[in-house]
Structure 1
Amino acid sequence: MPSALVTGGSSGIGLAIARMLRDEGHALTLAARKLERLEEAAAELGATAVAADVQHEEDCARLVKTHLETHGGLDVLVNSAGVGIAGMIGDTTTKHFDLQQAVNLRGAFIVTREALPALREAKGYVVNLASIAGTIPTPGLATYGAAKAAVISLTRSLAREEAAAGVRVTAICPGFVDTPMASWTGLEAEQMIQPEDCAEIVRSLLRLSPAARVPLVVIERAGDDV
């Protein structure tokens, strides 16, 4: 049975993708910081639950090790753990800047690095959740967007580096998605991209032939001017 590891898998986009992967026949490991919500999601999906904070290198390494010991390999890695803190550059503290880089970029980098040997063996797939804010100027989300732009760059370079090994990599860059992270926008749920939309993109990516490479998928919100 193929297996998948999803960080940030207890809610929002990560949970929607995990549900899709379960439906597609993958054994799952879900990772998140908040244990209660993580255990609920894992129970729903019959998944392995690993409490982990991807800011910490030791948590990232332990997460991948636990998945491999439990499932014997890794076919799909979804880096969905993320944090976004709105604020103008002049008002953003160094602490908030560092947190967004640590979770959104550094965590994805370390988990991916630790998982690469298994992904190479499986000719697997890496999905990195970036953001449309990483592709366009976004006042008020500049430091978040900077982290996500770096994720996009990391994704494109990794795709080229691992092409010969058969590992494919895609960054998904949605606009505002109906998750708790976007509650500050004041938008109604029906005005936002749905987490399941992102999951359907991933489903399509996994069904492509090995010859097809999609480095970047941008999902605009209907009604936006971008």
Structure 2
Amino acid sequence: MGFADGRHALITGGGTGIGAAAARALAAEGAKVSLLGRRHEPLDAIAAETGGRAIPCDVTDRSAQERAFAEARDAFGPFDFVILNAGIGDSRPFGRTSRDSWDAIIATNLTALFDGAQLALPDLQVTGKRLIIVASVAGLKGGAMAAPYVASKHGAVGLARSLALEFARTGLTVNAICPSFVDTPMVDESAERIARATGKSVDEARALLAKTNGNGRLITPEEVARSIVNLCHPDSGGVNGACVTVDGGTSA
């Protein structure tokens, strides 16, 4: 069917947005997909569409991740591709950012990556295996009004680069995907926050976010998923420790 025929891909945040698009793209290449996320309904829908397995899981709970990874292995065997994609965002002045907000963003966007990588690594230290961390262009530069998010994504990039070096001689590759604003539920939430703060409509807020991308439009989840699939391909074995930007030229 494709280069991933019969191989096992685990995707966190697999029910919507980038995770769902990656699940569809890898399933089209023949992969068996395990989908982790907090909400049953979208997970079930993508699992039904891709022939995958929906596994409800709060990635901020290491024990829950451990159980979910075990269930995925029981269903489809050892992991070949692990895409750590689950993430949350927020936007507000630093002086009004609460410690609870900081803790929640770091827990989801960074600590959960630490846990997921540790739990997946026993399967991945073989030539041809892939660990992909979905970070952000916010992990490559500073950003006002989003300090916890930006800090978490810098951490995600640093984690990917460090693991790439540490495990390079095992045959595993570890890379970060760094999109700019993508047409996902997270951007919808950002647009709603902007609309509440400014009095603009949600559509006007979405247009403002789109204009910050180099190409003047929102990136599609499918465009990000294509980069994920490319990194999973056998011909990408020499790409390790990279930060692949999918941003329409924002970071050029």
In structure 2, distance between residues paired with 1:153 and 1:169: 11
Instruction: Give the match's secondary structure for 2:54.
Output: strand
Structure 2 spans left out of the alignment, 5+ residues? 1-5, 192-204, 211-215
Instruction: Give the match's secondary structure for 1:73.
Output: coil
Greater shift after overlay, 7-16 or 81-90?
Answer: 81-90
Contact 1:123–1:165 (Cα < 8 Å) also in 2: no
Large movers: runs of 4+ above 3 Å? none
Q: TM-score, normalised by structure 2?
A: 0.85
Pick one of 78, 86, 101 that aligns with 1:81: 86
**CA deviation string 1:112-161 (max 9, x = no partner):** 10110111146410110101111111101221010010010000000011
Q: Which residue in 2 is equivalent to 1:108?
A: 113
Contact 1:34–1:51 (Cα < 8 Å) also in 2: yes
Aligned partner letter, 2:75? T
1:117 counterpart = 2:88: no
Change (3 A) 1:212 1:171: closer
1:147 counterpart = 2:173: no
Pick one of 131, 136, 154 that aligns with 2:136: 131
In structure 2, distance between residues paired with 1:203 and 1:225: 22
Q: CA deviation at 1:214?
A: 4.8
Q: Which residue in 2 is equivalent to 1:211?
A: 238
Root-mean-square deviation over aligned CA pairs? 1.7
Give the % identical residues. Answer: 34
Aligned residue pairs: how many? 225
Q: Which residue in 1 is equivalent to 2:40?
A: 35
In structure 1, distance between residues paired with 2:141 and 2:90: 17
Q: TM-score, normalised by structure 1?
A: 0.94
- Give matches, 1:1-226, under 5 Å: 1-121=6-126, 123-183=128-188, 184-185=190-191, 186-188=205-207, 191-207=217-233, 208-221=235-248, 224=250
Instruction: Give the match's secondary structure for 1:218.
Output: strand
Contact 2:62–2:115 (Cα < 8 Å) also in 1: yes
Structure 1 spans left out of the alignment, 5+ residues? none
Aligned partner letter, 1:178? D
Change (3 A) 1:68 1:193: same
In structure 1, distance between residues paired with 2:217 and 2:236: 33
In structure 1, distance between residues paired with 2:51 and 2:18: 18
In structure 1, distance between residues paired with 2:187 and 2:111: 22
Contact 1:133–1:141 (Cα < 8 Å) also in 2: no
Instruction: Give the match's secondary structure for 1:20.
Output: helix
In structure 2, distance between residues paired with 1:203 and 1:75: 12
Aligned partner letter, 2:221? P
- Structure with higher Rg: it is 2
